Amino acid sequence: MQSIADSKLFQTLFNHASIGIIVVNESTEIALVNEFALTQFGYGSVDELKGQPIEVLVPMRYQHAHVGHRNSYHENRKNRPMGIGLDLLAKRKDGTEFPVEVSLGNYDMDGQSFVVAFVNDITQRKESEKAINRLNEDLEKMVKERTESLEITVDKLNKQIIETEEKDKELRAALDKEKELGELKSRFVSVASHEFRTPLSTVLSSIYLLQKYKNTDEQPKRDKHIQRIISSVNLLTDILNDFLNVGKIEEGKIQPRYCTFDIAKSISDTIAEMRAVAKKGQEIKYSHNGSTEVELDPGMFKHITLNLLSNAIKFSPENSGIHIKTEVDDTCVQLKVKDSGIGISKEDQEHLFERFYRATNALNIQGTGLGLHIVSKYAEQMNGKITCKSEIDKGTEFTVTFLNKY
């Protein structure tokens, strides 16, 4: 009875496995093929493959070499991946080819030896790798072009420095600025490479796993990975927007557009948007004093609020409180965001609003180090200022103050 049960278990695992399985006998003929492999290779039934040489699944140009590799394996059989360091291709019934990963195993039964090949179609993974390689090539090309441009500029400046003492001072100042821009570009590449890696890896792994869920009842698993891909793409978009905004600020292309709006409504709308990303049990409380009508750039103000509230959520634990307060009087408009998170050391607070700066206790948390820099620049654009009050493990309070023009 046990052997019958074992046989049924083997048949169940063999027929319902989500990877192609092909069993080859001592004569290198196909003895068994599971349903998943039939689908992979485009065959309708086991009878079409049973008794065929294994080379029927190998592209014609590789068949001769495959015979030699196959014979070599039979002489020294052991469980291992096939074609280490090589790009392997398989051939479907219709002659089309696709990239695969193959792992080999072997067993003996009834005096005969068999080889088992586990075949995985990696078409989606290869396409994702190509996309990532193209992105890396584009980044490298951009860095090379900018570096060449910087070198040309430096050469021109060095020639002009010789002309006069006065020009020497001016040109040296320009050179220092160019060096600063060069460092900024280097930091951009470094941060972009690091911050892109995690969401891109998430997208790649989710796409790879999606191809394994082929049954209707596995839709929840597919939905989970689709949501991971959407979240990762949104994160990449936010990172790129931060880089673009810094570039526009540095080039002086961003100027405030003042208009009158309801500050309380703006804050409430922002809180409603952010509640969807709040951690479990986090409570966001808002209070307002004074008139609700203010004259500021509503887009810049919302960006400031979103960034400060997003940081409060990100750096605060579950089941904690976040407090937002606005106050408007005859002289100023004030926004305060207070959390009960990990806090910021006094040493880090001195550099908090610099480009790409990350507090020492936040290095393991996702971020580019540009958010607070952009917030401070937006505040300056509207004749405001931002201050920070914080202690390690006792939370942080940011205060943004604007002159009241209304």
Q: What digits encode the pLDDT tens for the residues 171-201?
A: 676 666 666 555 555 555 555 544 555 556 6
Model confidence at 93: pLDDT above 90: yes
**169 and 62 share one domain:** no
When pLDDT is averaged across residues 213-221 and rounded to a whole number, the result is 70
**Quick one: 132 and 117 in the same domain?**
no
pLDDT higher than 70, residue 127? yes
Same domain, 105 and 171: no
- Distance from chain centroid for Cα 63: 40
Confidence of residue 341 (pLDDT cuts 50, 70, 90): confident
Give the count of beta carbons closer than 10 Å to the beta carbon of residue 60: 9
**Helical ranges in 162-218 per DSSP H:** 165-210
Residue 323 is predicted with a pLDDT of 95
Claim to verify: residue 82 and residue 200 sit in the same structural domain: no
Binned at pLDDT 50, 70 and 90, residue 239 comes out as: low
* Residues 279, 257: Cα–Cα separation, whole Å: 34
Question: Does one domain contain both 307 and 341?
Answer: yes
| Residue 157 belongs to domain spanning | 124-250
118/40 Cα distance (integer angstroms): 12
Choose one of 198, 215, 250: the last residue of a domain: 250
Mean pLDDT for the stretch of residues 293-321: 90
Residue ending a domain, choose from 61, 93, 121: 121
Name the one residue in this structure whose structure tokens are 């096939």: 82
**What is the pLDDT, as a whole number, of residue 2?**
41
Contact 34, 21 (CB under 8 A): yes
213 plus 346 within the same structural domain: no
What confidence score (pLDDT) does residue 94 get? 94
More confident residue, 174 or 262: 262
Percentage of the chain exceeding pLDDT 70: 72
* Residue 303: partners with Cβ closer than 8 Å, 6 or more residues away: 374, 375, 378
CATH code at 265? 3.30.565.10
Average pLDDT over residues 71-100: 81
Query: What average pLDDT does this structure show over 266-289?
Result: 90
Of the candidates 155, 151, 158, the residue with the CA atom closest to the CA atom of residue 185: 151
Tokens 């309380």 correspond to what residue? Answer: 264
154-171 confidence digits (pLDDT tens):
777 777 766 666 666 766
Number of domains within the chain: 3
* 66, 128: one domain: no
CATH of the domain at 89: 3.30.450.20
